[in-house]
Structure 1
Amino acid sequence: MRRFRWWIGAGALLFVTVLVAVLVLTWGPGTPPAKRQGPPGTGPLTIVSLGDSTLSGEGAGDYTADTSGANGDWCHRSPNATVFETDVPGIAAKVNFACSGAPSAQVALGDVRQYTEPSQAGQLAGLVKTHRVAIVVVALGANDDPHFSQLINDCFQAWFIAGSPPCSTTVESAWTTRVNSMVPKVTAALGDVKKVLAQAGYETGDYQLVLQSYAAPIGPDVPPNLQNLNGCPFRTEDLNWVRDDGVRVLSAGLARAASQAGARFLDLSRAGAGHEACSGGADASKEWFSRLTLRLNDLSDVNRASHSLQESFHPNANGHAQIGRCLTEFLATSLPTSACLSGADGNLHSTVSIASPG
């Protein structure tokens, strides 16, 4: 029995000796295992944006011909969109798949289309065959249960129709419930983005996944002479509610979705403070959001008339540039969350977020 135990001990010692020798030969003395050099595959290092109008470039103008009504595609992608305003070292390509009005289901994998376009996660799956995706920035959720664009339209109607109650009084009681119903849809869409990358051989450390929230496009600092069809036709109580309550609750819901999906979160809920539509009065150049915008030429075309107001109350080219600046700063950090706030220089900067995902 003693001899048998001796052989077991000797065998174990021999195994350990061989294993150490193999590791030394593989790694070398004091050398750790080689780390992955970023995203797998071939092609340029790339940043990609997915989502809705906030990232497509709605409001920024100069839309690409193929997304400005051609064959029913109204995604309104602009070369002035946020993703093109980022400046991340090493990034050689910038790709925008975001589509105006897109719900979470169209960003996710599946058969849901937005303005004729298929799944954005599916488009990402095609992109990783020729690009090394290092960053995916997503903005979505407002077109799910919250129906934020419809809310803005309801607020306009409340101003227009004499005697009707403020839009905020009709929506505020159900707003939190609507946002809560949105959260799992956004989480699922982010999960599909991660699934696409995992199936392409990506590990979580190979890329950054960022979910950003929404800035309030309107606020109460509107001169009386612009609180009408000349710019921002909304009641003051509704302007206050959108800025102080609506966007804040929406952002908190998106923070929860990002946390549940394992994504980083960029809070834009206060990004537009002082630069909302019409806040500049006679000098609209100070504003980061479009005012009520009507494309008169589109009214003569039955296929375009229903989209003649589509640009209204979205980040304009200045707004996209500012958000791109803040996003760039956030991407350079390892913070899980951050907020875009105006700095002393008047520009947006990434700062530690005080928003809670809880």
Structure 2
Amino acid sequence: MRKLKWQWGVAALLFVGALVAVFVLAGPESQVGRPNPRQGPPGTGPLTLVAMGDSTVSGEGAGAYTAETNGTNGNWCHRSPNAFVNLTKLTGIDARINLACSGAPAAQVGLGDVKQWTEPSQSAQLAALLKDHRVTAVVVAVGANDDPHFSALVNGCFKAWFSASGPPCSEAIRRSWQSTVDAMVPKVVNALGDIKKVLADAGYVPSDYQLVLQSYAAPIGPGIPENLRTLNGCPFRVEDLAWVSQDAVKSLATGLKLAAKQAGARFLDLSRSGGGHEACSGGADMGREWFTRLTLQLQDLKDLERAPHAVQESFHPNAAGHVQMARCLSEFLGTPDGNAACLTGADGNLHPAPEVTAN
């Protein structure tokens, strides 16, 4: 009898010990060993979409720039209320924040001491934002101002138009273009890595947010009426227009897609999004165009500090272009997996076409 009582006592102790182990390991909120799912991003504040990067994101070319980014105290980031981030629609979003700055290189988007038009690191700005915002998506466009120096490329082609006896700009640029794109890739990867670090340091896990890297659209193309290949519109040689739209922008997109893959980000390809809507492609009907033509702010020429920025918004997406980019991005963010390309649909608007991969 004593032996039987001893065995029951041991069994009871083992049972109690097992229960204690279950509660210690699983925690009081666990149900049958299954943790409760996270209810979105951590922290407090409004659910927020954040845009980071350079002029494509800031809204350069879309006009109505905020006063503090339109030359005040040397800040020329040119953030516009017409920028696509302010127009993007995503279920549950309460706030949209634009941290992008015109001309920004990857190093200023990432962490560090690099400034752009007086503004510090965009990733550091993101870290501050996370204190009172819950970020559900971060959209980035960066890289063109690094080794490819895309704006300098456009300027070089502009100069080549003046010298009819000299070679087209693309003749020299194409020789090193791929190497400049290759050199850009790790810089973009580092910037995306810094963004992910900032989010992780704030308690985010990858499932809490979407990180999207997008490429660039070609602002100019070969289908320009001859009377607009002048200072009144788009002063470029035909062969240079073709190279920029058919080769340069596509190679840049391929490099950025690689950067997105290496950084663990989604990729949205805009390299073919502007076809038929480039600057000057509308001829007499500028309303068909999604990019600015050569734009000179005459009033800026009267001010020595503003004069160097008088043509800054030329050959960037205009307000109509940002509407189209916002439409495509909204639909893309609504499908949380995979990559896509923004292409013109049957309705004449941009929509994301999912990437097709071979089995």
Is the aligned partner of 1:331 residue 2:333?
Answer: yes
Task: Tell me if structure 2 keeps the 8 A contact 1:60–1:316.
Answer: yes
In the other structure, the counterpart of 1:27 is: 30
CA distance in 1 between partners of 2:356 and 2:275 (Å): 16
Amino acid of the structure 1 residue aligned with 2:121:
S
SS in 1 for 2:165: coil
CA distance in 2 between partners of 1:195 and 1:178 (Å): 26
Task: Tell me if structure 2 keeps the 8 A contact 1:107–1:121.
Answer: yes
CA distance in 2 between partners of 1:269 and 1:205 (Å): 28
How do residues 227-242 of structure 1 correspond to structure 2 at under 5 angstroms?
227-242=229-244
Match of 2:99 among 92, 97, 100: 97
CA distance in 2 between partners of 1:252 and 1:92 (Å): 33
1:116 Cα offset (Å): 0.5
CA distance in 1 between partners of 2:122 and 2:27 (Å): 46
Amino acid of the structure 2 residue aligned with 1:172:
R
Runs of 4+, deviation exceeding 6 Å? 9-14
Deviations 1:167-223 (A, max 9, x none): 111100110000000000000000000111111111111111100000000000100
Amino acid of the structure 1 residue aligned with 2:345:
G
Task: Tell me if structure 2 keeps the 8 A contact 1:267–1:355.
Answer: no
Deviations 1:40-68 (A, max 9, x none): 11100000100000000000000000000
In the other structure, the counterpart of 1:252 is: 254
In the other structure, the counterpart of 1:3 is: none
CA separation of 1:79 and 1:24: change in aligned 2, threshold 3 A: closer
In the other structure, the counterpart of 1:345 is: 347
CA distance in 2 between partners of 1:132 and 1:334 (Å): 18
1:18 Cα offset (Å): 4.8
SS in 1 for 2:107: helix
1:16 Cα offset (Å): 4.7
SS in 1 for 2:323: helix
In the other structure, the counterpart of 1:58 is: 60
Match of 1:263 among 251, 262, 265: 265
How do residues 1-358 of structure 1 correspond to structure 2 at under 5 angstroms?
16=18, 18-20=20-22, 26-28=29-31, 32-353=34-355
Amino acid of the structure 2 residue aligned with 1:202:
Y
Task: Tell me if structure 1 keeps the 8 A contact 2:338–2:355.
Answer: no
Task: Tell me if structure 2 keeps the 8 A contact 1:252–1:355.
Answer: no
1:352 Cα offset (Å): 1.3
In the other structure, the counterpart of 2:4 is: none
CA separation of 1:272 and 1:28: change in aligned 2, threshold 3 A: same
SS in 2 for 1:118: coil
CA distance in 2 between partners of 1:146 and 1:355 (Å): 28
Runs of at least 5 residues in structure 2 that lack an aligned partner in the other structure: 1-6
Task: Tell me if structure 1 keeps the 8 A contact 2:56–2:317.
Answer: yes
- Name whichever of 15-24 and 302-311 sits farther off: 15-24
CA distance in 2 between partners of 1:62 and 1:199 (Å): 35
CA distance in 1 between partners of 2:257 and 2:16 (Å): 54
Percent identical across equivalent pairs?
63
Task: Tell me if structure 1 keeps the 8 A contact 2:100–2:122.
Answer: yes
CA distance in 2 between partners of 1:355 and 1:306 (Å): 46
CA distance in 2 between partners of 1:277 and 1:65 (Å): 26
CA distance in 2 between partners of 1:354 and 1:305 (Å): 47
Runs of at least 5 residues in structure 1 that lack an aligned partner in the other structure: 1-5
- Name whichever of 126-135 and 345-354 sits farther off: 345-354
Task: Tell me if structure 1 keeps the 8 A contact 2:70–2:76.
Answer: yes
Deviations 1:127-170 (A, max 9, x none): 00111111111000000000000000001111112212111111
CA separation of 1:355 and 1:228: change in aligned 2, threshold 3 A: farther
CA distance in 2 between partners of 1:215 and 1:163 (Å): 30
CA distance in 1 between partners of 2:324 and 2:158 (Å): 27
SS in 2 for 1:27: coil
CA separation of 1:349 and 1:149: change in aligned 2, threshold 3 A: same
Deviations 1:238-270 (A, max 9, x none): 110001100000000000000000111000000
CA distance in 2 between partners of 1:15 and 1:163 (Å): 90
1:85 Cα offset (Å): 1.2
1:335 Cα offset (Å): 2.6
Task: Tell me if structure 1 keeps the 8 A contact 2:338–2:354.
Answer: no
CA distance in 2 between partners of 1:268 and 1:26 (Å): 45
TM-score (norm 1): 0.93
1:32 Cα offset (Å): 3.1
1:15 Cα offset (Å): 5.1
Task: Tell me if structure 2 keeps the 8 A contact 1:267–1:353.
Answer: no
